[in-house]
Structure 1
Amino acid sequence: MKSPAATRALAIVGATVGAILVWVIAHQAVGDLNVKTGDSSQTVSIVAVILTVVFAGLIGWGLLAILERATGKARTIWTVVAVVFLVLSLLGPLGADGTGAKVSLLLMHLVAGAVIIPLFARSTTPR
């Protein structure tokens, strides 16, 4: 059995690799993934994908660690919060230019969430 820290680190790595794979396939299939930011457009780079997944994973890890120290229901609370944030994060890709970019960015969010949420939830330690 892996330690909670090892499980969470592997979850972040797995989510990052999954999002990278989606980005690579999407980049080959539809070209640049552009997102509207106000009046301009920004290209989603592979570096942005990596940094975003790692940052989100670390924020989730931090929240879970705090909840584990504060409550006996850390797993339940964290899972609900994580799912809510995942659903809210799906609004961002809707601003992408083109259907291919929208679908690709939505898939990246879903892949990252599908890896991180269950693995982090399983890694919780009792209070």
Structure 2
Amino acid sequence: MSTRTEVARRAGIVCGGTAAALLVWLLATPVLGVDLTVRVPAGLARSADLPARDVVGPGQVAAVAAGAGVLAWALLAGLERLTRHAAVVWLSCALPVLILSLAGPLAATSAAGLLALAGMHLAVGVVLVPGLALTPPARIRRDSTPEPA
């Protein structure tokens, strides 16, 4: 598999995670009418001149999901340069991060909002964790000899 194919596959996984989060948002908000309002921590609201509450929109969902995917991919790629067991090490980081991310939805102002936000986190995790862990490691070409066909 060429490096270009590996990059395309991983980019597709990141896009898939983003699409999964947006699908949950779409089902929760416009279809089911769930209020996705979250409380902004008081210290952050004051220091950044933000309102005490914020409505989670599709742009925020896409940005956070894509950002998480890119960071996950970057960590995996970095580990692949350092160890042969990158996928195992990456999984030992990715799963606790996914679990810790579920604390974010606790800022929801309703039970339905909490469930919808947790669903978004899990949707991204269900796509990213196995998707990235099961992709073959990117090869680092140290010489200029072409690969056999």
User: Which category of TM-score, normalised to the shorter sequence, fits these structures?
Assistant: over 0.9
Give yes or no for the alignment of 1:9 onto 2:21.
Answer: no
Confirm or deny that 1:73 pairs with 2:85.
yes
Task: Note the residue ranges of structure 1 that are not aligned, 5 or more in a row.
Answer: none
User: In structure 2, what is the Cα distance between the partners aligned to 1:19 and 1:126?
Assistant: 26
Q: Shift of the alpha carbon at 1:103?
A: 0.2
Q: Does 1:108 align with 2:120?
A: yes
1:36-62 per-residue CA deviation (whole Å, 9 max, x = no partner) reads 112411111100000001111111111
Alignment TM-score, normalising by the size of structure 2: 0.80
Q: Which runs of 4+ in 1 moved over 2 A?
A: 1-4
Figure out how many residues of one structure are paired with residues of the other and give that number.
Answer: 127
1:125, CA displacement in angstroms?
Answer: 1.3
| 1:81-120 CA distance string (max 9 Å, x none) | 1111100000010120101100000000000000011010
Pair 1:97 & 2:109 matched: yes
Identity of aligned residues (%): 36
From the two aligned structures, give the one with the greater helix fraction: 1
**TM-score with structure 1 length normalisation?**
0.93
Shift of the 67–43 alpha-carbon distance from structure 1 to 2, 3 Å rule, reads same
- Considering only CA atoms, is the larger Rg found in Structure 1 or Structure 2? 2
Superposed displacement of residue 124, structure 1: 3.6
- 8 A Cα contact 2:105 2:114, kept in partner: yes
Q: Deviations over 1:17-53 (max 9, x none)?
A: 1111110111021343011112411111100000001
